[in-house]
């Protein structure tokens, strides 16, 4: 049997602690399946004295992960610190410079610097593995990077943030407000004390940018993603979607168009009878549309210590099974130097159906004015519904809900803007795209 693969783990939070525990408990079976033992010989974390319930006897402790990457007796650095800059990036760069393989779950780092890190790894014949960075325990990176080789991918989309999916599920099933669901998500540990990164779509955007590079062979571009979060979704939207046969999900969508590559993250209405509409709670789902295989949908745990540690361990095992001189899997599916420049398609050229909710003054001529603005922008309506009168006796209002046939983003935005200029809309209009997978 080959010499043991020595691992240094930077970050002993929920995922890091789970990883250490799993490797310790399954040493024998891992050695058999990988053809060599996997040993954790070094760790780094901020608090040495914290009781993590781990046996770290015989493991060298480093207070600084960069020092560990430079000096520890290891073959692989596992980076579980997080963050696009600071210690995480410095440790990964130091490890690659030294000639160590790297496994990371750091989506922010990859979204910002993935191409540069991939090039550094390839230059030295090293593996840079990051399965856990996207969709937790779902093996979507391996599928796109290896299993779908030869396929031409036209679209990739999915539910990639468990916090948002949990909130939207609770809102629908229990009739709770967004604010109440968020508080419960924070209490259960699904959402951070500052949940902005999750609920405003940034977390999904980082994951989508990585998958876009793998799907289309282009450079990572997380700054070119149209971004909307879920904080403006109301119970009124949830109920209206259900009445129309839809559920609301926060989706990340990337697709190739004639004008380039379109990336977008936003609340989306999906038909009740689709598989992705049935994905509830903190579960994630990723769909890939390709020419040879067809449509592939992968569903599974998107977060949590064990689920993410499982993905990290899979990456470590791949390294353990490889041998010197055989590292041929490019981090981003093709050599970094051959990645095409990212060419952004205009979001406003996207075509599809739209859900539009307006609160309007309850007076004669408003419906006719709405119809005129829609016609001016060549928008055909699939349905239009008026809800009961709201507001005060002095200023009565009603809610108008419209579902359009396929149209363009530009047309919808122009129509809504014109309605706002007409002066009969009360509050902010709600526009949600409709996807029919």
Residues of the chain with CATH 3.40.50.720: 2-135+305-330
The Cα 326–Cα 53 span in angstroms is 37
CATH architecture, range 350-434: 2-Layer Sandwich (3.30)
Mean pLDDT of all residues in the chain? 91
Instruction: Report which of residues 190 and 108 the model is more confident about.
Output: 108
**Domain at 2-135+305-330, CATH homologous superfamily:** NAD(P)-binding Rossmann-like Domain (3.40.50.720)
What is the residue-wise DSSP string for 251-273? EEEEEEETTEEEEEEEEEEEETT
State the pLDDT at residue 383. 87
DSSP 164-221: HHHHHHHHHHH---HHHHHHHHHHTTSS-SS-HHHHTTHHHHHHHHHHHHHHHTB---
Residue 146 reports pLDDT greater than 70? yes
Of 401, 364, 366, residue with least CA distance to 385? 401
Q: From 202, 130, 137, select the one nearest 164 (Cα to Cα).
A: 202
Q: What average pLDDT score do residues 363-381 get? A: 92
- At 388 the pLDDT is 67
Say which range, 100-104, 200-204, 372-376, 423-427, has the weakest mean pLDDT: 423-427
User: Confidence band (pLDDT; 50, 70, 90) for 436?
Assistant: confident
Q: What is the per-residue pLDDT for 263?
A: 93
User: Residue 393 above 70 pLDDT?
Assistant: no
Tokens at 363, concatenated = 């007076």
State how far the alpha carbon of 53 is from the alpha carbons of 12, 14, 108, in Å. 11, 11, 29
In whole angstroms, give the CA distance from residue 252 to residue 266. Answer: 7
- 206 in Cβ contact with 227 (< 8 Å): no
pLDDT single digits (tens) 69-110: 999 999 999 999 999 999 999 999 999 999 999 999 999 999
Q: How confident is the model at residue 56 (pLDDT cuts 50, 70, 90)?
A: confident
Tokens of 122: 């390839």
Query: Is residue 395 predicted with pLDDT exceeding 80?
Result: no
Q: What is the pLDDT of residue 348?
A: 55
| β-pair partners for 434 | 269, 353
Q: Where in the sequence numbering do the catalytic residues fall?
A: 207
How high is the pLDDT of residue 53?
Answer: 84
Q: How far is CA 184 from CA 178, 191, 207, in A?
A: 10, 9, 25
3-state secondary structure of 138: coil
Domain with CATH 3.30.70.260 in the chain: 350-434
Residue 112 has pLDDT above 90, yes or no: yes
Q: Provide CATH 3.30.360.10 ranges for the chain.
A: 142-301
- In sign, the C-alpha dihedral spanning 227, 210, 70, 41 is positive
Q: What angle is formed at CA 294 by the lines to CA 288 and CA 295, rounded to 5 degrees?
A: 40
Q: Report yes or no: 132 and 13 within 8 Å, Cβ to Cβ.
A: no
161/350 Cα distance (integer angstroms)? 23
What is the fold of 142-301?
Dihydrodipicolinate Reductase; domain 2 (3.30.360)
Mean pLDDT of 27-38: 94
């Amino acid at each position: 049997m080959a010499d043991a693969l020595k691992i240094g783990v930077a970050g002993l939070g929920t995922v890091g602690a789970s990883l250490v525990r799993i490797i310790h408990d399954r040493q024998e079976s891992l050695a058999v399946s990988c053809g060599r033992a996997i040993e954790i010989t070094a760790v780094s974390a901020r608090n040495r004295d914290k009781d993590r319930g781990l046996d770290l006897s015989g493991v060298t402790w480093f207070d600084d992960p960069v020092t560990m990457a430079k000096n520890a007796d290891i073959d692989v650095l596992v980076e579980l610190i997080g963050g696009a800059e600071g210690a995480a990036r410095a440790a990964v760069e130091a490890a690659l410079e030294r000639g160590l393989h790297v496994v990371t779950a750091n989506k922010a780092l990859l979204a910002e610097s993935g191409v540069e890190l991939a090039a550094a790894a390839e230059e030295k014949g090293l593996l840079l593995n990051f399965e856990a960075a996207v969709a937790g325990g779902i093996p979507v990176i391996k599928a796109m990077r290896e299993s779908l080789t030869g396929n031409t991918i036209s679209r990739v989309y999915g539910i990639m943030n468990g916090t948002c999916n949990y909130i939207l599920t609770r809102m629908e099933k229990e009739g709770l407000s967004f604010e109440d669901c968020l508080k419960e998500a924070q209490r259960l540990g699904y959402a951070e004390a500052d949940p902005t990164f999750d609920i405003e779509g940034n977390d999904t955007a980082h994951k989508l940018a990585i998958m876009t590079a793998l799907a289309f062979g282009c450079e990572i571009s997380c700054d070119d993603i149209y971004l909307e979060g879920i904080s403006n979704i109301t119970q009124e939207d949830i109920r209206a979607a259900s009445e129309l046969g839809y559920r609301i999900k926060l989706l990340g969508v990337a697709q190739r168009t004639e004008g380039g590559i379109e990336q977008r993250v936003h609340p989306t209405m999906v038909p009740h009878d689709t598989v992705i509409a049935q994905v509830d709670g903190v579960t994630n789902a990723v769909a890939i549309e390709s020419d040879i295989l067809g449509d592939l949908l992968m569903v599974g745990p998107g977060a949590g210590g064990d689920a993410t540690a499982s993905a990290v361990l899979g990456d470590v095992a791949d390294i353990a099974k490889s041998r010197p001189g055989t590292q041929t899997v490019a981090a981003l599916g093709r050599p970094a130097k051959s990645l095409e420049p990212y060419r952004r398609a205009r979001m406003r050229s996207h075509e599809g159906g739209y859900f539009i909710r307006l609160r309007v003054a309850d007076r004669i001529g408003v419906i006719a004015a709405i119809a005129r603005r829609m016609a001016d922008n060549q928008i055909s309506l699939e349905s239009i519904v008026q809800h009961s009168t709201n507001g005060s006796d002095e200023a009565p209002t009603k809610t108008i809900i419209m579902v359009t046939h396929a149209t363009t983003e530009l047309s919808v935005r122009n129509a809504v803007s014109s309605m706002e200029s007409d002066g009969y809309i009360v509050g902010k209009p709600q526009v949600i795209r409709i996807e029919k997978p």
